[in-house]
Amino acid sequence: MSRPTATPPPDPSEETRPAVAEGSGSRTDGLQAVLALPDFRRLWLGQIFSQLADKFYIVLMVFLIAQYWVTDTPQNNMVLAEAAASLRLDLETRAQMITLLATGIYVANTVPAMVLGTVAGVWADRWPKRQVMVASNGLRAGLALLAPLALLPGPQLLGLSWGYWGLVAMTFLESVLTQFFAPAEQAAIPLLVPRPRMLAAMSLYQATSMGATIVGFALGDPVLRLLRSSLRGIGISGGEFVLLPLCYGLAALCISTIRMEEPERVERGTSVWNEIAEGIEVLRERVSVRRALLQLVLLYSILAALYVLAISLASAIEGLGPTRFGTLLAMSGVGMACGALGVAQLGQGLNRRRMASTGLALIAFSLVLLGQGRGSLWLTLGLCGLLGIGAALVAIPSQTTIQDDTPEAMRGKVFGLQNNLINVALSLPLVLAGAVVSRYGLMPVLWGLAAITMIAILIEKPWQRC
């Protein structure tokens, strides 16, 4: 199979881009140098609004479930109690009921990535990336406008109103569009950033993602309640539904102004499946890309499970409760953002493999102690922050390695495979976490995740010379 492997196409054009190089005393690999690139700034702003919308979406779904579908105690909601009994689950608290229904939303968000992630990556290489990103955000904004319809009365299915299943279907379609947006966004970064600044760019990318986690999860619930009450005060109901279309729309607007020169696409006449095979071949040939991808699969599997576990952790803390689970996830986002900023400024001289192993060790340590500190607000917040720092130490070097070592013509395919593998891997803990917590409790899940992380460290063998 013939394809360029030595010289990535973006390098020649990127060297001529007016950035920070004109300043004699400026850094060439820090955050300032990356933010000086105007088109990358526009992509970055689009990422901020899109990531915020993704986090607000999850919070809105849990908010609606708690407000409209889990209004009774488990003893008074016989339909859910019977459904749980058929699944051999024990529903003793309202938090467990919310967790069970929220798991349906998480699954709907995951299935498209399992089925379409790789195929969408191929089309991200075939289609203009800017247009793909703009269209996906615009269509997601349109879908979000349909959310209020789920509150209309209607028939029931499996003991729940049609509106809940409507939200599940909407989540599925939102996720389908995300599968096209994600590989196009990731593949666009090397076209806008010169190679020496990639580590800083990926650090900013991860820091922004985690910053959106902080704002989205920590402020999601109060912002939704504020919009709901403030608009109701002027006679407008449903104010909580304004946020998602606004964020997705602003993301589409920012990205539409990017000037991005892509290499001319040559019609190859190959099928989608052949191009998927080419992406798989990149993973076979390049050990560094394969290793980095496996680390990302493990990391996002753990983080996805924590989406579910955070509801149980928050319900045990006085003053939080299950609907404010986002506070714990936001604290992990604080840790990730701090870790990402540290890597951006100091990570150039560090070995990526050992950095990732250190991050995995911090994650395992945090998971073991999270169960022990259950009910303690400050200890739980501190451990979530430490886990976030570990996540940053894994994600940034791994993602930078994939960006650096993947040929430009193959990036969409590899990123599609990456999203596919990540979502296939996270689907199992995502689906099982709520069920296992409901049946066996929180501790077995936390200890199981910690054990898997320790095995990954042993496989990586960080004590060997790199």
CB pairs under 8 A, 24+ apart, for 249-254? 249/137, 249/138, 249/141, 250/49, 251/46, 251/47, 251/48, 251/49, 251/50, 251/53, 251/137, 252/46, 252/133, 252/134, 252/135, 252/137, 252/138, 252/141, 254/42, 254/43, 254/45, 254/46, 254/49
Q: Is residue 257 part of a domain?
A: yes
How many helices, marked H, and strands, marked E, lie in the chain? Answer: 16, 2
Q: Is residue 8 part of a domain?
A: no
410-466: pLDDT as tens digits: 777 777 777 777 766 666 666 666 677 767 777 777 888 888 888 888 877 666 654
Mean pLDDT of 146-172: 84
Q: Is residue 316 part of a domain?
A: yes
Give 157's strand partners: 160
Mean pLDDT of 388-401: 85
Q: Is residue 321 part of a domain?
A: yes
Which one, of 211, 239, 213, lies nearest residue 225 by Cα?
A: 239
CATH number at residue 305: 1.20.1250.20
How far is residue 272's CA from residue 416's CA, in Å, rounded to a whole number? 12
Q: Residue 91 has what pLDDT?
A: 56
Range(s) of the domain holding residue 446: 34-261+271-460
**Number of compact structural domains in the chain:** 1
Q: Is residue 14 part of a domain?
A: no
Which one, of 216, 232, 257, 196, lies nearest residue 46 by Cα?
A: 257
Q: Is residue 367 part of a domain?
A: yes
Highest-scoring range by mean pLDDT, 93-97, 154-158, 177-181, 255-259:
255-259
Q: Is residue 13 part of a domain?
A: no
Q: Is residue 17 part of a domain?
A: no
CB 335 within 8 A of CB 372: no
Residue holding tokens 């394969």? 290
**pTM greater than 0.85 (yes/no):** no
CA 343 to chain centre: 19
195-211: pLDDT as tens digits: 778 777 888 887 777 66
321 dihedral zone (left: phi>0; alpha: psi -120 to 50; beta):
left
183-196: pLDDT as tens digits: 888 888 888 888 77
